Structure formats: structure tokens, C-alpha cells
Amino acid sequence: MKAEHYTQDPSFNDQERSYANGGVGDDTDLSAQQKGLDLSPLGRMIRRNALLIAGVTTAGAALVAYSSLSGPRTYKGHFQLLVEPITSQARLSDPAAISRPGAQQPDVIDYPTLLQILQSPELLSKIATEIQRRYPDVTAGSLAAAANGKTLIIKRYEVSAQRFGSDASDPTKVIDVAYKGQDPQKVEFILQELARGYLKYSLEDRKTRIGGGVQFIEDQLPSLQRRVNDLEAELQALRQRYRIADPTTEGVQLSAQAQGIQAQQLETQRNLKEQQALFNRLQAQLGINPEQALAAASLSENTSYQTQIAELKRVQTLIAAKSARYSSESPVMLGLKEQQNKLEQLLGREARKNLGLNASSVPLDSRVLAFQNALRVDLIKQLVTAANTTQQLQVRGQAIAQSQAFLNQKLQEFPVVIRQYTGLSQRLDLARTTLNQFLTQRETLRIEAAQKEVPWEIVSAPAIDRDGRNNPIPSANIEPKFLLAGLAACLLLGLAAALLKEKARDRFYSAEDMEGSLKLPLLGTIPFKNGLNQPINALPAARSDAFSKAFSSLYTNIRFLSSNPSVRSLVISSAELGDGKTTIALNLALEAASMGQRVLLVDTNLRSPQLHSLFSLPNSIGLSDLLSGRGELEQVIQRAPAATNLSVLTAGQTSPDSGRLLASTEMQGLMQTLQDKFDLVIYDTAALSEFSDANFVAAHSSGLLLVAGVSKTKRSVLTQVLAELGRFRLPVVGFVPNHPGSGTANAYNQSGQYGQSYGGKPTLLENLKILKPNE
């Protein structure tokens, strides 16, 4: 029947493509995470190119050794300087410690800065001046260049030590100076002058630092003295202004006075209230004021006045007695009244005479002029005393209030005074302390300046290396560390040459190299096999050699790569011509058929078909005819010789337009039909680097199996093919390295798979036969 125009169910291809691409990606990512950094490709590359690497390394080492031995002889010498004391006794005997017994000496020297100073052009120029007396060619510039060019080496000496099982270096307090040159006498002389120059520098440096310190102190002393004088004058003016000697004592006294004044004020107020209450009570009892009370008291003590009072009382008594008998107009009554008036006038004159000048200011009523008995006289005295005491207490209260106001004002002002006084005192103490320290430091520096001892000490005299006969020993032109660095560079150069060789050949040399580079599952390796030139007579009964076991393992890996969905259609292709894809497709089909699978092997290489020649089958009609509408499916499918479960669909007539046929809907429908009829359909396609035919077939299959020839397939071509497959999102189930360990591409020629060209009939491949049944 004719091939059906069939549109394939998209779910089939989506599932297969997801299975192939997803499986490869997941396995690759997981493997990369588990393995980490893999150096095995580098090791294999080194083993392959061991001779090249060894040759380049040996040649480079020979050049390094020749340059070391052929150069001029150099002589090296050194000396060592101790730049600070190493014991506590030595520190105590240091001039600085002697002149400053209470000061703490610094323990750390800035060695990096010191080393820079020792290599400075300024210091080296002074030393070069002395050297030029014997060797005029030595200049400051040459010494500086020697320091930069590692001819003159100045460093801090370090001692190796063992700590916790590892090597370590302990820095010392010694400066090591080394110099090398071609003239041993010149080297030794330069070292001696360097030693003298450095010792001289240490002494001059100390004197320079001390002189600078003294000059600084001398510059600061006048301003410090003026500051002390100014602060003393301000403090004196403050004491005079507020009349204080010690603010602390004055403050205590003022506080005590304020408390005493407050107590006096309270006592005065209490007494004043008592006297006022007594005065008011007495005045209410007597009915007179204090002036009247004084007048009454004075009159009560005048005898004449008292006599006249008594006479007046007698006359008044008679008038009272006579008034009962006589009328008021009677002569007796008038005489008595006249006598009474005279006595009253006389009493008035006597009272005024007794009171003197104050009589006019004192109202003389009957209570004043009346007779005062003893009790009343005593009350009058108490009234006068209370009045006088009240006035006295009032005056005292006023004086106390004035004193309290004055003290309060002083107490309000005193904190400001204390603050000013304290601030001035502190500033004055600080200025005096600074001044005294500067004066003491000046004397200390002057004592240190008088010391002549050199601060540094030579612990190893300038000398060059000599043998037992006192002859100079030349040093190696190349130091050991540089020699090792040169050998390492030669080794790296050998590795670089090997890498360039690998890059130029552009080949994979092992299956492991392919697996590490392609990041695809390695489904099996096919070893090289001689004698594959026998015709197919029957299905092999026993296949126990490595070649047959390789295909058994390959089929097993493909068969159980995924349980659901299973691989039902498989495209086998390669990156380049002659990689052995057809042989692998044929033997894989035989292996699957031997497992009881119904297998169909389809030759989709419509430009240069091969399968019909290998099976000795007619190719008059085949796949191309079926896709072009010529022939039925049952007519084109043929039984493979001696293989019960294996069928072959040959390519048919060659077609230069194979891409259009394989991309047609007829091909898609045919692939689905074949998959329904057979358990496994294997498609043998053209090389991927030559044509895109395999891409159209792989897009509608379960996956593509990529075949690569070890030591034959170009790395760049295979990488480009994989990139194109990934760009087209085509399912790739894995790859198979062909002929690993065969050594060269001759294995491909011997098997008849190398050198074939498209566009003509097979040449060597037509003689290729599969294993005989008994092999």
C-alpha cells in the first residue's frame, strides 16, 4: 500500500523530546555537581604528550643551566647590624634610659620605614662619596640601582622555627646587608663603607633628633612662660576684686554666716512678737500710751505734786459733803470751788514744771494726773520697758535683714567666682606642669646629646664568602629559587606546547575526553574489530567477544534508559563521514532482533545509501520511492538474511532533494506507521556536518544516538553539531565513541568506514560484512 498522508500525534514527540533532553540535562548537572573539579582530562593529555612535555622541559632546563654556568662569576658578602637592645639590662644601660629613669622606652621600631631610609639616595650618596676615593665608578645612582636590582639587598634578618609541625619565620632585631659583584675586593670594601656609613647615620640621626627636640623646646618656652605669668595675674586680680584668698574656705564661711544670720532673724522675730503682745496687753489695761505712762510715772514720784493732789482730793471731798447742805451758789460752795480751781491750776503748773519741755506734747488727762498706786506704777514701768524693747527688736531686725541681703548677694555671686577661680587655677596648673616638663625634657635631651656611644652595633663584620684557604667563593649566577622558577616555567612551556598540539589536531583521543566535553550520557563504547568482511548467512548464535558485548551493553542502556515511554524509534547519525554510524546501526539492529524485538532498519541516507549493499538486498525501490508515491509499504520492506525479527527498508533511488522528502508530512506519517508495526525502528541517516537530513528525522523520533570516532572526529565539528542540535531542541539520548583505544585513524580505513564520499556508490563499504554466526 501507499504511504499514508498522516499527521503525527504531537504528544508522542513532546514526550520523547522531554525524555531525551530532560534526561541528558539532569544527569549532566547532577554529575557536574557530584564530581566537582575534574583534572582527569589534564592527566590524560599529559600522558599522551609526555615525550613532548619532557622534551620542551629538558631543553628549557638546559638553557637555564647554560646561562647559569656561562655567566661571569660574582662574589657575595654581607654584614649584620643590631639596631636595638635585645635584653632588659641592655635597655637599662641605654643613654635614653639613663637620662629618663621614669620614662618607658619604646619596644617597637618601624622596620619597613628604617629599611627604606637605609636604601634612600640621600644616605647612599654620603656613603658613595667615601667609596669613590678608591672606586670612582661607584656613585649614589649605582648604589641606588644596585638596591633596586637586587645587587644590594637590605632586609630584616629572620630565623626559621618549628611551630605546631609547620615551618615559620621569626623576625629578629638585626638588619642584614648583602652586596655582590664581580670584584671580591671591591665587594668587601663597599660592605665596610656601608657598615661605617650606617653606624655614622645612627649616631647622627640620634643627635639630629635630640637637637631638633631641644630647639623645639627652646621655641616653646617663652610662650609657655608668658602664659603662666598671664594666668597668675588674672588669678591675683580675681582675688583682689572679691577679697578672697581661698574660695573653698570663703565659701564655707559665707555659708556659716548665712545660717547664723538666719537664726538671729528668726530669734528676733520671735522676741518682737512676744514684746508686741505684752505691750498691747499692758496698754489695754492702763489705757494710756507710752508717753503718758512716762508722765504718770514721773508725777507719781513728785512729793509736792502728790501733796497737792491729796489737798485737791480733800477739797473735792468737802465740796461733795457741803453740796448736800449748801447750794452751788452759796458762798461756802463758791469758796470751795474757787479753792478747787486754784489747786487744779497749781497741779497743772506743778505737772508741767515736773515734766519740763515734753509737757506740751503729752496730753494731761485725769488718768495721767491722777494718783498712781504701787500696782499701777509697776504696770506703767512694764509698759515702758515693752515699748523700748519692741523698738530695739525692730531696729535689730532691720540690721539683720540688711546683713542677710548682703550675704545673699555674695552667695549668688560666689559660684561664678569659684568657677572663674577654679578655671584659672586649672589652666595655671596645666601651664606650670607643661613648663616644668619642657624644662625637664630640655635638660634630659642635653644629657643625651652629650653621649658619644653609637646606638647600633655590628654583630657580623663585613666579609665575603671564603673557603678553607681563605679564597673568595663565587656565588651562583642564578639563585636557587629563581632556578626552580625557571624549571617551573619550562614545565609550563611544555604543557603549553602540548595544549597547542591538542588544539591543532582538534581530536578526541578517548571516550573519557568525549564524555567530559560533550556533557551527554555515554551509552557504550565500540571497540575495533578485524575481519569484518564475511557475508551475513545467519544470526550469530553466540557473541561472546568484546565487540559483541559492546553492542549488547549499548542496547541495554538504550532499552532501559527510560521505562515510560520506551524508546520505539532511534536515529543514528554522526558528526562527520566515516565515523562508523552505519556499522553501529546495523549491529545494534541485530542485537535488538536477537532479543526477540521486531526491528526495522531504515536507510534514510537517500544521497548515498549503504544498507542494501551490506545485506545484499535489491535497492530498486525503497524509502524515496515510497515518499514520492511509488510503491506500497509491504513491497519496500524486506526481510534481512538469516535474521528472523529484523527487517530492512532500503533507501531506494538516490535523490538529491532528500531533505524535502524527509521533512514532508508523508515521512511523518510513515514514521508513525512504522512505529506501530515494529517494536524498534532504527534510522541510519547522513552525517550531521554534511546535510540536515538527520534533523528532520530526529525531530519525530524518540531520540538521536550520536556516533563519534575516537582520534578521528574533529572536536570543533562535533561541538558545532551539538550546538546546532541544542538550538533546534532535538532529542539526543546519548553518544557512542567508536574504536576507543585504536590509536590512529587506520582502524577506520581497515574497517572500510573511512574515506567514503557522498555522490557516488560505496567503495570499501560494499565489502563490509558482519560477523559470521560462529564468530
Q: For position 606, which CATH number holds?
A: 3.40.50.300
Question: Which pLDDT belongs to residue 55?
Answer: 81
Question: Which pLDDT belongs to residue 7?
Answer: 36
Predicted model pTM: 0.45
The DSSP element (H or E) to which 638 belongs, if any, is: strand 637-639
Residues 197 and 303 in one domain: no
Residues 677 and 538 in one domain: yes
Question: Which pLDDT belongs to residue 759?
Answer: 37
Question: Which pLDDT belongs to residue 354?
Answer: 61
Question: Which pLDDT belongs to residue 4?
Answer: 38
Q: Is residue 610 within 8 Å of residue 762, measured between CB atoms?
A: yes
pLDDT one-digit tens code per residue, 131-162: 888 988 888 888 888 877 778 888 888 776 55
Highest mean pLDDT (candidates 60-64, 488-492, 556-560, 636-640): 636-640
Residues 195 and 161 in one domain: yes
Question: Which pLDDT belongs to residue 572?
Answer: 92
Q: For the ranges 34-38, 311-315, 706-710, which has the lowest average pLDDT?
A: 34-38
Give Rg (Cα) of the chain.
67
Residues 467 and 485 in one domain: no
Q: Is residue 686 within 8 Å of residue 540, measured between CB atoms?
A: no
**Distances 740 to 50, 458, 509, 548 between C-alpha atoms, Å:** 20, 71, 8, 15
State how far the Cα of 239 lies from the Cα of 473, in Å rounded to an integer. Answer: 85
pLDDT band at 69 (very low <50, low <70, confident <90, very high): low
Note whether residue 666 is domain-resident: yes
Note whether residue 149 is domain-resident: yes
Residues 138 and 205 in one domain: yes
**Distances 368 to 113, 265, 309, 383, 386 between C-alpha atoms, Å:** 115, 37, 12, 14, 19
Q: Is residue 307 within 8 Å of residue 350, measured between CB atoms?
A: no
Question: Which pLDDT belongs to residue 684?
Answer: 92
State how far the Cα of 685 lies from the Cα of 733, in Å rounded to an integer. Answer: 16
Residues 315 and 412 in one domain: yes
The residue that leads in pLDDT, 194 or 484, is 194
State how far the Cα of 253 lies from the Cα of 237, in Å rounded to an integer. Answer: 21
pLDDT one-digit tens code per residue, 300-313: 666 666 676 777 77
Q: For the ranges 47-51, 320-324, 348-352, 465-469, which has the lowest average pLDDT?
A: 348-352
Identify the burial level of 216 via C-beta atoms within 10 angstroms of its C-beta, where 0-12 means exposed, 13-18 middle and 19 or more buried.
middle
Note whether residue 233 is domain-resident: no
Q: What is the mean pLDDT of residues 365-377?
A: 58
Q: What is the mean pLDDT of residues 572-587?
A: 86
Q: Is residue 606 within 8 Å of residue 662, measured between CB atoms?
A: yes
Residues 529 and 491 in one domain: no
Residues 349 and 212 in one domain: no
What is the tally of structural domains in the chain?
4
In the three-class reduction of DSSP (H, G, I as helix; E, B as strand; rest coil), residue 677 is classed as: helix
pLDDT one-digit tens code per residue, 189-228: 999 889 998 888 887 777 777 776 777 888 888 888 888 8
Residues 136 and 194 in one domain: yes
pLDDT band at 295 (very low <50, low <70, confident <90, very high): low
Please say if the pLDDT value at position 541 is more than 80.
no
Q: And the C-alpha cell for 674?
A: 512504522
Question: Which pLDDT belongs to residue 373?
Answer: 58
Note whether residue 397 is domain-resident: yes
Note whether residue 516 is domain-resident: no
729 torsion bin: left (phi>0), alpha (psi -120 to 50), beta (else): left
pLDDT band at 683 (very low <50, low <70, confident <90, very high): very high
Q: What is the mean pLDDT of residues 74-83?
A: 87
Note whether residue 687 is domain-resident: yes
Question: Which pLDDT belongs to residue 32?
Answer: 45
Please say if the pLDDT value at position 260 is more than 90.
no
Q: Beta-strand (E) ranges in 83-214?
A: 152-163, 166-181
The DSSP element (H or E) to which 705 belongs, if any, is: strand 704-709
Note whether residue 745 is domain-resident: yes
Residues 483 and 624 in one domain: no
pLDDT one-digit tens code per residue, 741-773: 554 444 444 444 433 333 333 332 333 333 333
Note whether residue 374 is domain-resident: yes
Residues 132 and 166 in one domain: yes
State how far the Cα of 597 lies from the Cα of 589, in Å rounded to an integer. Answer: 9
State how far the Cα of 82 lies from the Cα of 91, in Å rounded to an integer. Answer: 13
Question: Which pLDDT belongs to residue 673?
Answer: 92
In the three-class reduction of DSSP (H, G, I as helix; E, B as strand; rest coil), residue 14 is classed as: helix
Please say if the pLDDT value at position 659 is more than 80.
yes
Question: Which pLDDT belongs to residue 596?
Answer: 87
Phi and psi dihedrals of 87, rounded to 5? -125, 165
Q: Structural domain of residue 133, as residue ranges? A: 75-80+109-217+453-474
Residues 618 and 746 in one domain: yes
